[in-house]
Chain A
């Protein structure tokens, strides 16, 4: 019994893990297994995994930015339009002024930053609710896309397509796998092991309880197992295919933004603003700057997502980015963020996004029509959030509070007044 509890408590990042995320990982695994069986093993083939990553990387990139926007207590409805607008600007610029593609990418990011600054200005400094600002932005930039593109489809040059449709090149000896992907996988395994050991070290320095060694080993084994599996799958695709470039961009962004939101002052400030903006302000947080940067960052990521999509589609079209905002927002909420802000993690949102992506993919592999797919996705979103609301209504205050309780203590606490595990003071105080 206590072993199982230890396991629950420690397997997925111990005390800092959000339990809904924990639930979502199980859901994800369940979905994968379900479809793996249902599609006779097609789901986990190299080809399919590669396709899924390149198909949904841009939505997941949007989810990263959206998570931060939602945590800060806002929403961004304009991401799809911003993506489409950036796409057409970049495609046109490359077509008409024969801009080299790397400059095109920089131009796209600059356009995103500019749009973000515009939206951030209205949200942070004028105080117009983000819902309104971005609803306006949604119209503005959709119109901008059609104005600039004449509602036409504009192709992009070969080099540019790499960020959406490219793969790691084949180098080195013929191992039967893509060598660069193998190297990346190896590095990831090393990083996972290093991080686990480092976190044990940190826990020890903090004099906090350290998980039993066998749990660390198990956790590392599972993670390494997953990484090895994924690596072999991605490296073992058809010659010429491997881990998509867009997937690498996504992984890079996830790592950077996870670190930022979790471990830096700037990240803390975002959570503080979303959790209680007045309290944050009275603690010296520069509210306006945080709001501005969060909105701006979202648009930059939307620009990047737009370019990746255009690259993958090899052309920028008038229907790019339609209803992307909804997919990104759904991913974030399925991943455990709170509608009222202040709660949520990047990794949760990515898991939420993957749940949607694999659901989509699995149903498509099964030949389920897009009408049914939408119905099922809608239900999944509703149930995921309803699950959370139901938990809260069970007299348990918050999702973290609720779900962390069984993860943290081995025994239920005795009645109020005498709860103490490590309390050295044992003061006869009241509370």
Chain B
């Protein structure tokens, strides 16, 4: 039986060297010409830890199908994220995907797979998270994350001023997962706004923890944020000391922070957020969380699919930033979408077109 198997497969044996184009033939980032209109497009996303990724996955599946492509959308497993994503990208390469869209789990650990994709002639688009440490990423598409940070910082200030017109205000800082390239960008954007005030003394970081390493929450995990907030309350705000605001990089962490504060019986401070998650929009409407950022996943996915379409046609996709995003090896051509800050005041307007969120903002 094994013999038969071996013979069968032997007969199909041959070198793949003739067929494949040498890796350095094209030279430029994108293939010289387009590709078939029904080609395979791979989409590798992180594990299903936030609503956004689940939504993005669905949008990609449907959008690519409507555009006539064959799609393969994969999420990394919850427990073995990095290794899983590596294997998934390899599988996409094997299947001959023409474009691979990657929402990286760990921005720095995909070098080998991206290289492999590149050599096989695929175009690599870093989606939402920039892939670092490699020359082989072609495009980056995301919301302007520095801007997101700036908006968060500004919202924090605005919110605190509205509650208490005169400073100084006491705040705490949180940032995202250190293995996510964006986490630092958000934080830097926010600090761009906050730093001058901190230096002046108008804003005081109660615990003194201002370094991104101290504020980071591994894996964007809610329990991590809650634990850190619990500790901060115990160490810094155990008495009557009042906390005015918390810079939170996203909604999941924001809600965890609010839970912690409520658990300690404190007044809820001004807490920022991002991602427009359902629970957080409810929370904003209820007056707990102060703000979130609307980064319309629909728009981002639509733009990405647009990029794939122009690649298919053999055109250079639209780029609006050729300077900002250096991944350590090269400056990656990027297309950035503008984010929108949402508070209770403008929620109805901001989510008017969102079938899921719009009803929440009524009344």
Give the residues from 312 to 365 in chain A that come closer than 8 angstroms, CB to CB, to chain B.
Answer: 312-315, 317-320, 322-324, 360-361, 364-365
In the complex, what residues of A have CB within 8 A of residue B219's CB? 319
- Closest chain-A Cβ to B193's Cβ sits at a distance in Å of 25
Does A51 reach chain B (CB closer than 8 Å)? yes
Cα–Cα, bound, A44→B115 (Å): 21
In the complex, what residues of A have CB within 8 A of residue B79's CB? 322-323
In the complex, what residues of B have CB within 8 A of residue A324's CB? 80
Q: What string of 1s and 0s marks CB contacts (under 8 Å) between A26-69 and chain B?
A: 10010011001001011011111001001100000000000000
- Closest chain-A Cβ to B199's Cβ sits at a distance in Å of 25
The answer to whether A36 and B216 have CB atoms under 8 Å apart is no
Given contacts A176-B18, A233-B13, A314-B133, contact A367 B82 (CB under 8 A): no
Does B187 reach chain A (CB closer than 8 Å)? no
The answer to whether A47 and B16 have CB atoms under 8 Å apart is yes
In the complex, what residues of A have CB within 8 A of residue B87's CB? 51, 55, 360-361, 364
Q: What string of 1s and 0s marks CB contacts (under 8 Å) between B91-118 and chain A?
A: 1011100000000011111111001100
The answer to whether A222 and B2 have CB atoms under 8 Å apart is yes
User: Which of A118-126, A131-139, A147-155 lies at the binding interface?
Assistant: A147-155
Cα–Cα, bound, A150→B232 (Å): 19
- Closest chain-B Cβ to A217's Cβ sits at a distance in Å of 11
Which of B47, B74, B108 has the most chain A CB within a 10 Å cutoff? B108
In the complex, what residues of A have CB within 8 A of residue B55's CB? none
In the complex, what residues of B have CB within 8 A of residue A371's CB? 75, 77
The answer to whether B94 and A225 have CB atoms under 8 Å apart is no
In the complex, what residues of B have CB within 8 A of residue A261's CB? none
The answer to whether A153 and B9 have CB atoms under 8 Å apart is no
Cα–Cα, bound, A132→B91 (Å): 37
Cα–Cα, bound, A315→B327 (Å): 14
In the complex, what residues of A have CB within 8 A of residue B178's CB? 150-153, 318
Cα–Cα, bound, A51→B79 (Å): 21
User: Which of A234-242, A252-260, A417-425 lies at the binding interface?
Assistant: A234-242
Give the residues from 153 to 171 in chain A that come closer than 8 angstroms, CB to CB, to chain B.
Answer: 153, 155, 161, 164-165
Does B265 reach chain A (CB closer than 8 Å)? no
- Closest chain-A Cβ to B327's Cβ sits at a distance in Å of 11
Cα–Cα, bound, A323→B81 (Å): 10
Could you say which of A25, A32, A48, A309 contacts B94, with CB atoms under 8 Å apart? A48
Does B288 reach chain A (CB closer than 8 Å)? no
The answer to whether A238 and B213 have CB atoms under 8 Å apart is no
Given contacts A240-B23, A319-B82, contact A314 B109 (CB under 8 A): yes
Cα–Cα, bound, A33→B83 (Å): 25
Does A172 reach chain B (CB closer than 8 Å)? no
Q: Which A residue sits closest to B84, measured CB to CB? A: A370
In the complex, what residues of A have CB within 8 A of residue B23's CB? 238-240
The answer to whether A51 and B22 have CB atoms under 8 Å apart is no
Chain A: interface residue count, which band? Answer: 35 or more
Cα–Cα, bound, A370→B219 (Å): 19
Does B5 reach chain A (CB closer than 8 Å)? yes
Q: What string of 1s and 0s marks CB contacts (under 8 Å) between B1-26 and chain A?
A: 11101110110111111101011000
In the complex, what residues of A have CB within 8 A of residue B75's CB? 369-371
The answer to whether A161 and B12 have CB atoms under 8 Å apart is no
- Closest chain-A Cβ to B328's Cβ sits at a distance in Å of 8
In the complex, what residues of B have CB within 8 A of residue A146's CB? 218
Give the residues from 209 to 231 in chain B that come closer than 8 angstroms, CB to CB, to chain A.
Answer: 213, 216, 218-219
The answer to whether A228 and B10 have CB atoms under 8 Å apart is yes
Which of A32, A239, A373 has the most chain B CB within a 10 Å cutoff? A239
The answer to whether B110 and A313 have CB atoms under 8 Å apart is yes
In the complex, what residues of B have CB within 8 A of residue A183's CB? none
The answer to whether A314 and B16 have CB atoms under 8 Å apart is no
- Closest chain-A Cβ to B21's Cβ sits at a distance in Å of 9
In the complex, what residues of B have CB within 8 A of residue A128's CB? none
Does A101 reach chain B (CB closer than 8 Å)? no
A and B contact pairs by CB, cutoff 8 A, 20 listed: A26-B1, A29-B2, A51-B91, A54-B112, A55-B83, A153-B106, A153-B109, A155-B328, A161-B112, A176-B18, A222-B3, A225-B3, A229-B10, A232-B15, A236-B13, A313-B108, A313-B111, A314-B134, A319-B106, A365-B94
| Beyond A155-B328, A176-B17, A232-B15, 19 extra complex contacts between A and B, CB < 8 Å | A29-B5, A47-B120, A55-B86, A55-B87, A151-B218, A153-B178, A153-B179, A161-B112, A225-B6, A232-B13, A239-B23, A240-B23, A240-B119, A313-B112, A315-B106, A324-B80, A364-B88, A370-B47, A370-B78
5 smallest CB-CB distances across A and B, nearest first, come from A236-B15, A314-B111, A370-B77, A313-B109, A225-B6
